[in-house]
Amino acid sequence: MDAHEDTTGQPADRANEEAARAVLIDCDPGHDDAIALLLAHGDPRIEVLGISTVAGNQTLEKITRNAQSIAAVGGFSGVPIAAGASRGLVAEPIVAGEIHGESGLDGPHLPEAQAPLDPRHGVNLIIDTVMNRPAGSVTLVATGPLTNLALAVRLEPRIVERVREVVIMGGAIATGNLTPVAEFNIAVDPEAAHIVFHAAWDLTMVGLDVTHQALATTEVRRQLAEVGTHPAKFVGALLDFYGSAYTAEQGFEFPPVHDPVAVAAVIDPSVLTLRKAHLDVSLAEGPTRGMTVVDLRGPAPDGCRTSVAVGIDVERFWALVVAALQRIGDPE
C-alpha cells in the first residue's frame, strides 16, 4: 500500500513510516500492557511486527484473549499475536488478580477477537521475526515476565547478536512491588530474567524507579478524555478499574502506568534518562529472590551493554500517549 494512502482514516504522517523502528512486543495484558500496545500502534515511529504473550498478570489464556481484544479496539487485527509460555521456567505461577482483576483486563467491555491467533508458539514468533528481518533491525520490548525471551535465547541463540536492542519494563533499582525489593515481572520468573540480563545484547531496564512517576493523574485523565474516541474511552475505563485497584491494594492516589514507558523509550529516547550499569538478579531463595541488582558505583565497566532508566520526563511521556490515541482515532 502506498504510504500516503489514507484507507484507514489515519493521518497522512504515515509518510514517515520508512523510518519507523521495527518492534516485537512480548506482553501479559494487563491494563498498562494494553496502553503500551495502543501507544506502539498509534505512534508513527514504531512498526509493530508481532505480539507474543506470556503468563503474568493473569493466566496465559486470559491475557492472550486480552491481547486480541486490544487489537480489535485499536484496529490492528492484522498484527500476528502468538501465545507463549504459560508459566515460568522454575518458579510456580503467580498472577496479579488484585490489580488487573479476574480477566486480567477488568473494567471496559472486551470485544471478541477479530482475527485468529497466530498458530506458532510465541517463542517461535519472536525467533522468526528476528531471524527473517535484517540483522540489527528488530527491537524486542518486553512488558511481562521474561520467560519467552529466555526460551527464545536458548532455542535460537543467534537472535542475541541479531536484535537491535531489548527494552524491558521490569525490575527496580530501589523498592519493589511484589516484595520489598522485587518487581513483579522479574519476581514471577527470576531465572528467565537471569538469562535475558546475561545475554550479549544491548538491554535497557525500565524499572519501578521511573514507572512509579508515570501516574495517571487527574490532569492526565482529562487529556485522555478530551481525545473522545472509543479507544480513548476504553483506556479511561481501564484506568478507572486499575486506579481503584492501585488505591485499594497499594495506597496510590493515582496509578502508575508502567509498560508504556518502555515503549516510549523506543519512540523518543529523551523521555528517559539512562545510565549504563551492570545488571544482575537474585535467584536466592529467601527475601531477595527476584531483586534486580543494579551496579551504579562509578562509571560502568568497558563493554557494558546494559542500561537502566534513572529519570523520566513525565509530561513528554503522557504527550506521546495522548498523541497516539489521537492518531488511532476511531477505527472501523
Residues that bind ligand PIR (CB under 6 A): 30, 32-33, 57, 96, 99, 143-144, 169, 177, 183-185, 258-259
* Dihedral pair phi/psi, residue 189, rounded to 5°: -150, 75
Listed residue (198, 204, 168, 235) closest to 32, CA to CA: 235
Q: Which does 99 bind (CB under 5 to 8 A by kind): Ca ion, ligand PIR, none?
A: ligand PIR
Give the residue with the Cβ less far from ligand PIR, 99 or 195. Answer: 99
Give the residue with the Cβ less far from ligand PIR, 14 or 246. Answer: 246
* Dihedral pair phi/psi, residue 256, rounded to 5°: -80, 130
Question: Which residue is catalytic, options 41, 100, 121, 258?
Answer: 258
Give the pairing of strands 278-281 and 292-295. Answer: antiparallel
Q: Which does 96 bind (CB under 5 to 8 A by kind): ligand PIR, Ca ion, none?
A: ligand PIR
**To the nearest whole angstrom, how small is the minimum distance from the Cβ of residue 56 to ligand PIR?**
7
* Identity of the residue numbered 113: A
Give the residue with the Cβ less far from Ca ion, 33 or 209. Answer: 33
Task: Give Cα 112 distance to the centre of its chain.
Answer: 22
Q: Which does 183 bind (CB under 5 to 8 A by kind): Ca ion, ligand PIR, none?
A: ligand PIR
Give the residue with the Cβ less far from ligand PIR, 68 or 128. Answer: 68
Listed residue (176, 97, 65) closest to 51, CA to CA: 65
Q: Which does 118 bind (CB under 5 to 8 A by kind): Ca ion, ligand PIR, none?
A: none
Q: Which does 43 bind (CB under 5 to 8 A by kind): Ca ion, ligand PIR, none?
A: none
**To the nearest whole angstrom, how small is the minimum distance from the Cβ of residue 223 to ligand PIR?**
22
Q: Measure CA of the first residue to CA of the last residue in the chain; give whole Å.
A: 18
Give the residue with the Cβ less far from Ca ion, 28 or 189. Answer: 28
**To the nearest whole angstrom, how small is the minimum distance from the Cβ of residue 59 to ligand PIR?**
14
For the stretch 231-253, what's the b/e string if a residue is b when 16 or more beta carbons lie within 10 angstroms of its beta carbon? bbbbbbebbbbbbebbeeeeeee
Is residue 317 within 8 Å of 36, Cβ to Cβ? no
**To the nearest whole angstrom, how small is the minimum distance from the Cβ of residue 259 to ligand PIR?**
5
Is residue 23 within 8 Å of 139, Cβ to Cβ? yes
Give the residue with the Cβ less far from ligand PIR, 13 or 102. Answer: 102
**Residue 258 a catalytic site member:** yes
Binding site for Ca ion (CB under 5 A): 28, 30, 33, 143-144, 259
CB-based contacts of 234: which residues, under 8 Å, 6+ apart?
73, 108
Torsion-angle region of 130 (φ positive above 0: left; ψ -120 to 50: alpha; else: beta): alpha
**To the nearest whole angstrom, how small is the minimum distance from the Cβ of residue 144 to Ca ion?**
5
Q: Which does 243 bind (CB under 5 to 8 A by kind): ligand PIR, Ca ion, none?
A: none
**To the nearest whole angstrom, how small is the minimum distance from the Cβ of residue 151 to ligand PIR?**
19
> What dihedral do alpha carbons 25, 328, 43, 130 form, nearest 10°?
30
Cell of 110: 472486551
Active site residues: 258
